[in-house]
Amino acid sequence: MSLALAFESSCDETGVALVEDGRRVIAAPLFSQIATHRPYGGIVPEYASRAHLEKFTLLTEEILRQHPLKPGDLDYIAVTTRPGLIGALLVGYQTAMAAARHFKAPLIGVHHLEAHLAAVRLSGMEIPYPALGLLLSGGNSAIYHLKKPGSIQLIGDTLDDAAGEALDKAAQILSFGYPGGPLIEKAAARYAESRGIHPGEEEKLERENIFPVILKSLEREKICFSFSGIKTALLRRHADYPDDNIDLLAFHYQERIVEHILRNLKHALAVAGKLPVIAAGGVLANKRLRRGLEKVAAFAGVEIRVPEFQFCTDNAAMVAAAAQLYFENGLKSPYENVTSGNAFGAA
């Protein structure tokens, strides 16, 4: 049995979690900074760092009040060291270092994207190595080949924006608010309902889609994402036809994004072989996307594992879930030293 305290601060959620065996969450208070950033339509890095600084102490104290811990009680401290907003990461790292010194526990640095994928372990599932990892968040859209614990290889990345970013920007264009993903999803569902389309039947409206297919002419086996073109298409359409039904725009926009993601997954399965799929990241909270992914996996004859909704968006429990992979396999985390080379860079 292992016990760990984990810290997450790569973007705009401040999370601390006490987790047993990297799988059972004992406590995981989370502070979302959405209200702080909403007036700006996106994340203001400096405000994010300040909020992390303020909230980490409060959240840690909240855990320790209910679960008093003394030096020697923890097997390790886990912390996200990359990728993310540099100021935000530094606040998390310093906090985790202080905790590691105080509790006399080793510090395990975690790659944020590996943590998103490891989140399936919090829902009673394991990563069935070798596997494909599909990661869709506000800052990343990528597909990884997960060879073994501690060994992930990027096989497809985005050429420009991330899927979540494209949804957030679309919601801004349509004046829905922030964060955009859930608001676009709601508007799209409203439109489908108004057309008598039940969940799972969205493709029936495919021929009416007013937006171009994303990267239509890309070679069949190439794995890459692009969301900037569709974003521009939405911007132009909304400027040219301001009286359009905005729920209709949200529906068709979301459909094109989902279609693009599904096509990339099909390509990845063709290139890497029939591997089980782990899909994670905040955008996986989208029910339309989840249904589509399940359909693609079923058609390809592979299993797909997705974390529960609560563990899809940024949280600290998933950081412990990833760190546990290193802990139980006797590995040294390659993400330990935040001062090394590309520590705060992309994956």
Number of chain residues interacting with ligand KG4 (CB under 6 A): 19
Min separation Cβ 305 and ligand KG4, Å: 17
Contact call for residue 282 and ligand KG4 (CB under 6 A) = yes
Candidate residues 22, 156, 281, 292; the one interacting with ligand KG4 per rule CB under 6 A: 281
Give whichever of 10 and 60 is closer to ligand KG4, judged by the CB atom. 10
Candidate residues 167, 248, 272, 278; the one interacting with ligand KG4 per rule CB under 6 A: 167
Q: Which of 259, 293, 258, 256 is nearest to 277 (CA)?
A: 293
Min separation Cβ 249 and ligand KG4, Å: 16
Which segment (85-93, 228-236, 263-271, 277-285) binds ligand KG4 by CB under 6 A? 277-285
Give whichever of 150 and 182 is closer to ligand KG4, judged by the CB atom. 182
Contact call for residue 285 and ligand KG4 (CB under 6 A) = yes
SS (H, E, C) the chain: CCEEEEEECCCCEEEEEEEECCCEEEECCEEECHHHHHHHCCCCHHHHHHHHHHHHHHHHHHHHHHCCCCCCCCCEEEEEEECCCHHHHHHHHHHHHHHHHHHCCCEEEEEHHHHHHHHHHHHCCCCCCCEEEEEECCCCEEEEEEEECCEEEEEEEECCCCHHHHHHHHHHHCCCCCCHHHHHHHHHHHHHHHCCCCCCCHHHHHHHCCCCCCCCCCCCCCCEECCHHHHHHHHHHHHHCCCCCHHHHHHHHHHHHHHHHHHHHHHHHHHHCCCCEEEECHHHHCHHHHHHHHHHHHHHCCCEECCCHHHCCCCCHHHHHHHHHHHHCCCCCCCCCCCCCCCCCCC
Give whichever of 22 and 139 is closer to ligand KG4, judged by the CB atom. 139
Min separation Cβ 244 and ligand KG4, Å: 21
Range 44-103, binding ligand KG4 (CB under 6 A):
none
Candidate residues 80, 313, 324, 333; the one interacting with ligand KG4 per rule CB under 6 A: 313
Give whichever of 30 and 108 is closer to ligand KG4, judged by the CB atom. 30
- CA 265/CA 273 separation, integer angstroms: 11
Structure tokens at 117: 């994928």
Which segment (97-105, 211-219, 264-272, 275-283) binds ligand KG4 by CB under 6 A? 275-283
Question: Binding string to ligand KG4 for residues 101 to 140, with x set by CB under 6 A, is what?
Answer: ------------------------------------xxx-
Measured between its terminal Cα atoms, the distance across the chain in Å is 31
Contact call for residue 259 and ligand KG4 (CB under 6 A) = no
Give whichever of 149 and 281 is closer to ligand KG4, judged by the CB atom. 281
Give whichever of 84 and 149 is closer to ligand KG4, judged by the CB atom. 84
Min separation Cβ 168 and ligand KG4, Å: 5
SS (H, E, C) 203-238: HHHHHHCCCCCCCCCCCCCCCEECCHHHHHHHHHHH
Min separation Cβ 87 and ligand KG4, Å: 15
Which segment (49-57, 85-93, 160-168, 188-196) binds ligand KG4 by CB under 6 A? 160-168
Contact call for residue 164 and ligand KG4 (CB under 6 A) = yes
Range 178-207, binding ligand KG4 (CB under 6 A):
179-182, 185
Residues found near ligand KG4 in the complex (CB under 6 A): 11, 137-139, 164, 167-168, 179-182, 185, 281-283, 285-286, 313-314
